[in-house]
């Protein structure tokens, strides 16, 4: 019986530490949505552009000096990645659906990705009074090696109503990691209870 109690106590200590570690971001931070605007000084007839939601279907977007790319995140939305695909590559596919499927699978020759992820929401400190963070980007270049190079610019840097600020670049991946960590912690605890039960039966 004594061995069972010691085993259970050890497991609960480990589980408590693990749970405390994964709960820390949620306790001391809050979720804030992000609005993204991407601008360019010129047209890009050699490329077509898509926003690709995390694990979702590509969304074709128009992009030019008078047509910025805008993505307004919500707490339920998925992060998006911007890609540029050579216009000429469309000829190699029978249908638009086949072309978009290839884009989503990153199987189109010459396709390049942006260096910035468009997060739907991020974590910020609880003292941050903003409900929405604004991020603006300017397209610097499209390069076969560097990809779609975006330069982020400050908007309302004092954080009174929006802006890039000092917010943490965390996405929904953080929540998935948090959930996985919590599940692992509970798994450790349950596993320990089984071990303790076996030890107790042997005693």
Strands 147-153 and 132-143: antiparallel
Quick check: 147 pLDDT over 90?
yes
Q: What share of the chain in percent tops pLDDT 70?
A: 62
User: Is 28:125 a contact under the CB 8 Å cutoff?
Assistant: yes
Domain spans in the chain, listed from the N-terminal domain onward: 2-202
**84: nearest Cα among 54, 60, 117, 57:** 60
Quick check: 194 pLDDT over 90?
no
- DSSP H or E stretch at residue 64: none
Distance between CA atoms of 89 and 87, rounded to whole angstroms? 5
Quick check: 128 pLDDT over 90?
no
Confidence (pLDDT) at 153: 80
User: Is 85:48 a contact under the CB 8 Å cutoff?
Assistant: yes
Quick check: 66 pLDDT over 90?
yes
pTM of the model: 0.68
Confidence (pLDDT) at 197: 55
Q: Give the CB-side neighbour count of residue 1, counting CA atoms within 13 A.
A: 0
Q: How many helices (H) and strands (E) does the chain have?
A: 3, 9
User: Is 102:52 a contact under the CB 8 Å cutoff?
Assistant: no
Quick check: 157 pLDDT over 90?
no
Average pLDDT, the chain: 78
Which pair of tokens denotes residue 99? 């072309």
Which pair of tokens denotes residue 37? 């605007």
Which range in 17-26, 105-114, 128-137 is most confidently predicted, on average pLDDT?
Answer: 105-114
Quick check: 20 pLDDT over 80?
no
User: Is 16:188 a contact under the CB 8 Å cutoff?
Assistant: no
């Amino acid at each position: 019986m004594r061995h069972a109690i010691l085993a259970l106590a050890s497991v609960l200590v480990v589980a408590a530490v693990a749970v405390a570690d994964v709960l820390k971001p949620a306790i001391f931070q809050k979720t804030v949505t992000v609005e993204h605007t991407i601008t360019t000084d010129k047209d890009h007839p050699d490329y077509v552009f898509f926003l690709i939601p995390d694990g979702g279907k590509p969304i074709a977007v128009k992009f030019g000096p008078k047509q910025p790319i805008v993505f307004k995140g919500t707490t339920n939305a998925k992060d998006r990645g911007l890609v540029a695909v050579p216009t000429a590559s469309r000829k190699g596919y029978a249908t638009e659906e086949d072309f978009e499927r290839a884009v989503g699978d990153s199987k189109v020759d010459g396709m390049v990705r942006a260096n910035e992820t468009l997060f739907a929401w991020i974590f910020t400190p609880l003292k941050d009074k903003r409900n929405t963070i604004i991020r603006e980007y300017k397209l610097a270049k499209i390069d076969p090696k560097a990809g779609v190079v975006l330069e982020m610019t400050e908007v309302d840097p004092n954080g009174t109503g929006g802006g890039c600020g000092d917010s943490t670049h965390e996405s929904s991946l953080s929540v998935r990691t948090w959930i996985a960590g919590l599940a692992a912690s509970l798994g450790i605890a349950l596993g320990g209870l089984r071990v303790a039960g076996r030890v107790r039966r042997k005693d």
